[in-house]
């Protein structure tokens, strides 16, 4: 997988033409600016020069943005972790003594924060505050004044019950953006608590995932939690951008149901196509099975306009991941026929056109599978990519963890943690040429309480000590069982 796939050299005219005209456009702009004159004097171009720093080393995109991170579990932390990777100062507020509940969930190493927590909370600082304690409320109010964005994903109404209503926040800091993840948007379910799989089910993903004759399935990718966190991050940076014009903060809401539906939009497309006839790229069309009134589960059929399937390779099924996703993209039908040893299918009217192939997809993929079963998934990948056939090996998490190219790009990163030692995590998947994206370990519970009280909020040592002894930042003493 790490090896670069050998490609046939090809003239990629359209791409070259595009880049040429883009550079022409920009150089035309430069010339125009250079020639501009003000009061008879030539005005120097104000276009910034390209960065002289190496890729990704010219600063941090969100430097100067401070986030009050009131998130927990997965959806909200995904969002604030992304913002932190881009350089925002993310201050995670946690409940004294307990912290984010995930610190203690799915624990693999006694005494250490779980991987669930560490892998969702990199690059953040942690302060413990009891948001219902009067002194805790005072500290939170001060934080609201000093931060640009408050991000939360509590159950509906919880923030208001803490006294942190939009009106209260907006009065304290009219520039603050208040960003929330909830399970559902306004409507009949708005008060419901929601976890990942609830969102996958309510957002149309589960009803369209799995095999037609089996039950609905949830996916391993956390499209409800992490997917919604991603959506929220985009909402936040958009609101920050709008604030540069209006000076005002605003509310940003991402409902997990909406986020999942956005990712499942091709299935709403298919729902509407159903009115006009069967979905010809679904296997059941070729099998002569009639369609009902809603989009069926389509197994591993491709969701796009190019038919695709998961096929066995050498080693399957004993090796559970010896499979490849194979797409019979129309423009490369010829090379596919040559590779699998069916050159006559290139011209045979029964196979030569995409329309002719649709009713025979099961038979065609069975023939392709005869060929893929003679090769490993990586051999198939190399042979197919060399002639531009889109295929994807089914990579196990073990293979991904060991993949050198993912380490090289910082997509898989090894992080050192003072309690658990070294562990692997997923780094920032978004690469920017001018912005550093280093991955720093997650904070210990309340690790930065002192520095946030004094350096961010400006409390002097005496005041900070007073707040600390008030009980607003520490867990209540355990009740005496004998009492």
The one catalytic residue in 225, 258, 270, 301 is 225
Residues from 41 through 80 that contact ligand CAO (CB under 6 A) = 73-76
Where in 177-255 does DSSP place strands (E)?
177-182, 251-255
Q: How far is the CB of 472 from ligand CAO (least distance, A)?
A: 9
Give the total of residues touching ligand CAO (CB under 6 A). 24
CB of 221 to ligand CAO, least distance (A): 13
Stretch that binds ligand CAO, among 128-136, 392-400, 441-449, 471-479 (CB under 6 A): 128-136
Q: Is 126 in the site for ligand CAO (CB under 6 A)?
A: no
**Other beta carbons within 10 Å of 426:** 17
Peptide bond into 317 cis (omega under 30): yes
Distance CA 224, CA 246 (A): 32
Nearest approach, Cβ of 477 to ligand CAO (angstroms)?
16
Q: Is 95 in the site for ligand CAO (CB under 6 A)?
A: yes
Region of residue 255 (phi > 0: left; psi between -120 and 50: alpha; otherwise: beta) = beta
Write down the residue that tokens 């932390």 correspond to: 77
Starting at the edge strand that comes first in sequence, how are the strands of the sheet with 66-70 ordered? 124-128, 89-94, 66-70, 149-152, 177-182, 251-255
Q: Does 152 bind ligand CAO (CB under 6 A)?
A: no
When asked if residue 200 is in the footprint of ligand CAO (CB under 6 A), the reply is: no
Q: Minimal distance in Å, beta carbon 157 to ligand CAO?
A: 7
Cβ closest to ligand CAO, residue 93 vs residue 149: 93
Check residue 18 for interaction with ligand CAO (CB under 6 A).
no
Edge-to-edge strand list for the sheet holding 323-327: 308-312, 323-327, 391-393
Per-residue b/e over 135-144, b at no fewer than 16 CB within 10 Å?
bbbebbebbb
Long-range Cβ contacts of 426-431 (<8 Å, 24+ apart): 426/119, 427/85, 428/82, 428/85, 428/86, 430/82, 431/56
Give the residues across from 426 on adjacent strands: 412
- Name residues contacting ligand CAO, limited to 414-453 (CB under 6 A): none
Shortest distance in whole angstroms from residue 42 CB to ligand CAO: 57
In the complex with ligand CAO, the residue whose CB is nearer, 132 or 431, is: 132
Q: Which residues pair with 325 in a beta bridge?
A: 310, 392
Complex with ligand CAO: residue 225 or 258, whichever CB lies closer: 225
User: What is the contact mask toward ligand CAO in residues 157 to 196, using x (rule: CB under 6 A)?
Assistant: -x--xx------------------xxx---------xxxx
SS3 410: coil
Q: How far apart are CA 265 and CA 259, in angstroms?
A: 10
User: Measured from the CB atom, is 154 or 323 closer to ligand CAO?
Assistant: 154
225 binds ligand CAO per the rule CB under 6 A: yes
Q: Measure the N-to-C terminal CA separation of the chain; round to a whole number of Å.
A: 64
Out of 132, 171, 269, 461, the only residue in the binding site for ligand CAO (CB under 6 A) is: 132
> Catalytic annotation on 130?
no
| CB of 483 vs ligand CAO, minimal distance in Å | 23
The catalytic residues are 225
Residues at the contact surface with ligand CAO, assessed by CB under 6 A: 73-76, 93, 95, 129-132, 153-155, 158, 161-162, 181-183, 193-196, 225
């Amino acid at each position: 997988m790490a090896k670069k796939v050998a490609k046939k050299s090809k003239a990629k005219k359209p791409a070259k033409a595009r880049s040429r005209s883009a550079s022409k456009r920009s150089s035309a702009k430069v010339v125009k600016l250079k020639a501009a004159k003000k009061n008879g004097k030539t005005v120097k171009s104000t276009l910034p020069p390209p960065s002289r720093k190496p890729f990704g080393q010219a600063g941090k995109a969100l430097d100067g943005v401070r986030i009050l991170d009131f998130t927990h579990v997965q959806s909200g932390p995904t969002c604030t972790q992304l913002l932190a990777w881009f350089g925002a100062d993310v201050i995670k507020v946690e409940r004294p003594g307990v912290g984010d509940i995930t610190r203690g969930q799915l624990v693999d190493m006694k005494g250490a924060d779980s991987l669930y927590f560490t892998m969702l909370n990199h690059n953040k600082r942690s302060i413990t505050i009891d948001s219902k304690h009067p002194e805790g409320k005072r500290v939170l109010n001060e934080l609201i004044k000093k931060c640009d964005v408050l991000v939360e994903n509590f159950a509906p109404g919880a923030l208001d019950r803490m006294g942190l209503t939009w009106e209260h926040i907006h009065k304290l800091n009219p520039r603050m953006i208040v960003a929330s993840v909830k399970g559902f948007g306004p409507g009949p379910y708005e008060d419901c608590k929601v976890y990942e799989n609830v969102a996958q089910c309510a957002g149309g993903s589960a009803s369209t995932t799995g095999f037609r004759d089996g039950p609905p399935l949830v996916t391993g990718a956390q499209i409800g939690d992490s997917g919604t966190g991603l959506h929220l991050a985009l909402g936040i940076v958009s609101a920050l951008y709008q604030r540069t014009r209006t000076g005002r903060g605003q509310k940003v809401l991402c409902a997990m149901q909406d986020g999942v539906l956005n990712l499942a939009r091709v299935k709403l497309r298919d729902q509407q196509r159903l009115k006009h006839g069967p979905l010809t790229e679904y296997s059941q069309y070729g099998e002569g099975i009639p369609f009902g009134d809603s989009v069926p589960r389509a197994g591993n059929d491709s969701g796009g306009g190019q038919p695709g399937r998961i096929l066995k390779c050498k080693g399957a099924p004993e090796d559970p991941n010896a499979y490849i996703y194979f797409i019979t993209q129309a423009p490369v039908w010829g090379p596919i026929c040559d590779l699998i040893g069916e050159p006559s299918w290139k011209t045979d009217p029964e196979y030569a056109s995409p329309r002719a192939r649709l009713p025979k997809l099961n038979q065609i993929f069975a023939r392709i599978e005869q060929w893929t079963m003679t090769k490993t998934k990586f051999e198939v990948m190399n042979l197919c990519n060399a002639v531009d056939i889109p295929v994807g090996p089914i990579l196990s998490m073990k293979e991904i963890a060991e993949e050198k190219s993912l380490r090289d790009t910082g997509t898989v990163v090894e992080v050192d943690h003072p309690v658990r030692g070294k562990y692997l995590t997923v780094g920032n998947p978004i690469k920017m040429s001018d912005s550093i994206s280093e991955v720093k370990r997650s904070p210990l519970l309340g690790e930065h309480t002192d520095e946030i009280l004094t350096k961010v909020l400006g409390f002097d040592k005496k005041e900070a000590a007073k707040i600390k002894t008030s009980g607003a930042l520490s867990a209540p003493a355990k009740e005496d069982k004998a009492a």
